Amino acid sequence: MPSTNSPRPRTSAKSRKRRRRKRRGPVIRFKFGKLILIWVLCLIAAFLLYMLSRNLHPEKNVFRKGWQPGESSVSDSAADITPVITPSESSLSENSSAESSTAENSTAESSAEESGEGGEESSQVPVTNKVNPVPETAARSADYLKTCAFVGEVDIYRMGQSGQLQEKSYYASEEINLTNYGSEYVLLDGTTIHIQSAMYAAKCPIYLMFGTEDLAAGQPADQTADQFSVLLGLMKASAPSATIYVLSIPPVTKNGEKTVANSVIDEYNSLLLQISNENDVYFVDTNTALKNNEGRLDSAYADEDGIHLNAVGRETLLNYVLSHVPA
């Protein structure tokens, strides 16, 4: 008689079911709490990536639509400044503009005639409608400075810090120069930004003054001029509607010549004049206004280092700018 304790034979259906279960592996039971945890971790990771991006590229605004060709950076550049012009100044400006346009056309025609008569030699002369250096004109009021953007190095930076230029009228720092302007930042609306981005689509007058820091570091005049030419090209591309003025850099005192000779500064300024003509932009010879009879920076205008300008020197430079604005 068979034993009642012997195991019961497995049916084929149960065997197949167990084999299928083994092949599938264990059943994963997903808890809702883990889903929330993963979601929170993803939010934290996204926030950390955003903060890292803002620290590496503070000039970029991820919440703002990217620039499109033809758009204006009115809210983020010097073009945001509203010119202060009285009605009398406005009518005078319109009349002067008409006269200037006629004069420029006649100048262009005479240049074309000369180039036709001069042959190959005259074809090498830069074609420009500008009169450079800019001759003396009737002095503008100080309100004109509010409509401009001054871009440069230490002296421009100190003009803004001392209140000689208003907040949205200067884009400079104590560290920026022709070698590092692509990586250094300037302040704009409480944040930092590259000068090319700050000037994007600007329509106001732009004044550029660069070169003192590079020459003082021992860089040759021609190399410094080549770097300025590249910067000028970037400015023209970034703000094609803006009127650009190139400012000659100031001389230095006798003590300052221990760092950089005035002959080197004069050579560099001569190259700036040539570059300005080649690029059809204005050149303002502020250097001459700051020299004494010895051809050096007047001590009344000099900072202690003999290279940079003091408050009086900066004011003299700005007054020279105000009296050299083409109509």
Question: How high is the pLDDT of residue 17?
Answer: 63
Domain containing 269 — which CATH number? 3.40.50.1110
Q: Is residue 296 part of a domain?
A: yes
For the cut 50, the answer to whether the pLDDT of residue 122 exceeds it is no
For the cut 70, the answer to whether the pLDDT of residue 109 exceeds it is no
Q: Is residue 195 part of a domain?
A: yes
Distance, in Å, from the CA atom of 10 to the CA atom of 108, rounded to the nearest integer, reads 107
For the cut 90, the answer to whether the pLDDT of residue 289 exceeds it is yes
Which tens digits make up the pLDDT trace of 130-158?
899 999 999 999 999 999 999 999 999 99
Q: By C-alpha distance, which of 151, 156, 225, 239 is closest to 195?
A: 151
Q: Is residue 82 part of a domain?
A: yes
The chain-wide mean pLDDT, for the chain, equals: 78
Q: Is residue 298 part of a domain?
A: yes
Q: What band does 1 get if pLDDT is binned at 50, 70 and 90?
A: low
Q: What band does 21 get if pLDDT is binned at 50, 70 and 90?
A: low
Q: Is residue 173 part of a domain?
A: yes
Highest mean pLDDT: which range of 56-70, 99-113, 257-271: 257-271
Q: Is residue 17 part of a domain?
A: no
Greatest Cα pair distance, the chain, in angstroms, is 137
The three-state secondary structure class of 235 is helix
Q: Is residue 1 part of a domain?
A: no
Antiparallel, parallel or unpaired: β 244-247 and 186-188: unpaired
Say what the pTM is.
0.65
Distance, in Å, from the CA atom of 70 to the CA atom of 138, rounded to the nearest integer, reads 34
The three-state secondary structure class of 188 is strand
What are 200's two structure tokens?
A: 């994007």
Which residue has tokens 């903060």? 51
Q: By C-alpha distance, which of 321, 253, 250 is closest to 287?
A: 250
Domain with 156, as residue range(s), is: 78-88+129-322
Q: What is the count of structural domains for the chain? A: 1
Distance, in Å, from the CA atom of 37 to the CA atom of 288, rounded to the nearest integer, reads 70
Q: Is residue 250 part of a domain?
A: yes
How many other β-carbons are positioned within 10 Å of the β-carbon of residue 296?
Answer: 20
